[in-house]
Copies of this chain bind each other. A is one copy, B any other.
Amino acid sequence: MEPHQVKRPRLEARERPGLEARERPRLEPREWPGVEAEARERPRLEPREWPGTEAEAREWQGAEAEARDRQDGAYFHSYSDVSIHEEMIADSARTGCYRRALQQGYWGRGAARPGPQPGAGVGLLQGRTVLDVGAGTGILSVFCAQAGAARVYAAEASVVMAERAREVFEANGLSGRISVLRGRVEEARLPERVDAIVSEWMGYGLMYESMLRSVLHARDHWLKPGGLLFPCQAELFIAPVNDPALQERLSFWAGVKEQHGVDMACMAAFARRCLMNDEMAVGALHGEDVLARPSMFATINLYTVTEQQLGRLGGLFTTSSFGIATMHAFAIWFSVIFPTSARSDSASDNHATTSTVDGRQASRHKDDGQFETSTNSDSRRASTAFASSVPSAYTVNPTASSHCTVTANGGNLQTFNRCADSHVAFDANADECEPVVLSTSPFAEETHWKQSLLYLDEPVQVFQDTVIKGKITLTPAEDNPRHLRVALIYEIGDSGKQTKIFKMGEDFSSYD
């Protein structure tokens, strides 16, 4: 058994009496005024719009800041338990990918074991300074120090974990080169700007937890011009899927007659209402559950993206189904890409790079609607290879789409280079390193992120070449910016336009 499969069982539904009931009336799609209309009709009240006195405005801002502080405190606190760190480190796709990305070059090409190899290039981080944002147990900081970093700053807001990281650095004989910065990275005072920032900030559906904002803050304050970000780019994908686990749960009730002699088939409709709800779910799919070519609906260049752009992330998608199947949901997942060489190269050429990876098309669409079997390393990059299928013709609202896709932009790089610090130069050793991509695609090795599922209200039959198109927008929840709200406008065949708003991060209210 894998370590991550044998954890202490978590509380079962029976034990979590606070689970929200699904029965409360929900607006039917036809009753939704539409995302755009809704956005117009209910403008968010920004502090500057406060209609009262200045004193009231200050009080209101104070209350909001207090709520954010409380939310942040609880968020950092949530990382003070061992389980979440065990899950992340046991996720070998994740941890191994970060290790390869941070220690590339330091390992020889095709080296059987880590460490400096005869004939290996000098590692990207050799002699560099690095800031680790949200260090947790400190494992990424150790990877950096092992790769030859001269100095690593490990910033960790959880008091408990900062102490754990300190112990880990000492156990690995690296206390001399890694400094623990206890507290929020936004309040950290480093003695110098750094050559690179590393962070594992990705949440479910990429944006849950909103930790990326802290990374951007660190980038703007502590990264030298030309410095590297690990990872440096993120991509979001969407595809229509069949969910076999859901299907089996919906079918369960028809089988009770056979098993226990009671006809409970009528429960299936209730089960559907409960399970195909408006909460973004997390589930592990496989490649064969994907019903059409996935669409990349957003690319984030971490060197240039602004916090404002993160506030409304999304894009259009269009695809057509491979064959006859039952569609339960749209699945979304992400990939992140690590820099392989000099900053200027990775920043301005990212988009082209990620569209073709290394020149090979990893998966090909066959007439029977299935993907060809490919090697694991190929399928890992399958989602990236789909970048070429990003739609450009289909548009829900042409005027609204320009803000949705944040792509690499050489122009922004110049803006970023306004910093007065001297520009740091990295060896252009791209030809020595393979691009490192951490993919959470259903075609890749399963990660602890699995995939995020946006269920339709009921299963829908699709046929060969049924056109499935729409628009997806990810925004932070209004009441807690670390939570996530997903607005999905979609059309399956000629069924007409549907809209469904999903949330992730509901409070677990208990019955006390």
A residues with a Cβ closer than 8 A to B are 1, 3, 6-23, 67, 70-75, 77-78, 80-90, 92, 95-96, 99, 114, 137, 139, 142-143, 146, 160, 164, 167-168, 170-172, 203-204, 208-209, 244-246, 248-249, 252-253, 255-256, 259-267, 270-271, 274-275, 281-284, 448, 450, 479-480, 482-483, 504-512
Contact = CB atoms under 8 A, between A and B. Distances in A.
A1 B245 CA distance: 10
A14 B84 contact: yes
A455 to B, nearest CB: 9
Most buried by B among A82, A92, A252: A82
B260 A71 contact: no
A246 B142 CA distance: 27
Contact of A267 (B8, B96, B164, B263): B164
B264 A9 contact: no
Contacts of A77: 17, 21, 511
Contacts of A81: 13, 19-22, 274
Contacts of A275: 8, 82-83
16 contacts: A3-B249, A6-B249, A9-B282, A10-B13, A18-B78, A18-B508, A21-B160, A86-B249, A86-B253, A89-B260, A99-B260, A139-B260, A164-B266, A168-B263, A482-B511, A507-B509
Most buried by B among A71, A203, A256, A511: A511
A266 to B, nearest CB: 5
A204 B507 contact: no
Given A8-B249, A8-B275, A282-B9, A92 B20 contact: no
Most buried by B among A1, A99, A171: A171
B245 A74 contact: no
A324 to B, nearest CB: 23
B82 A284 contact: no
Nearest to A164: B270
Contact of A78 (B67, B95, B483, B511): B511
A459 to B, nearest CB: 14
B14 A448 contact: yes
A479 B311 CA distance: 41
B13 A84 contact: yes
A512 B262 contact: no
Contacts of A99: 260-261
A101 to B, nearest CB: 13
Contact of A510 (B74, B143, B164): B74
A17 B78 contact: yes
A259 B78 CA distance: 26
A330 to B, nearest CB: 15
A172 B262 contact: yes
Most buried by B among A14, A75, A259: A14
Given A139-B260, A261-B99, A510-B74, A267 B82 contact: yes
A12 B7 CA distance: 11
Given A262-B143, A448-B12, A89 B256 contact: yes
Nearest to A1: B248
A335 to B, nearest CB: 18
Given A13-B84, A89-B256, A507-B510, A171 B18 contact: no
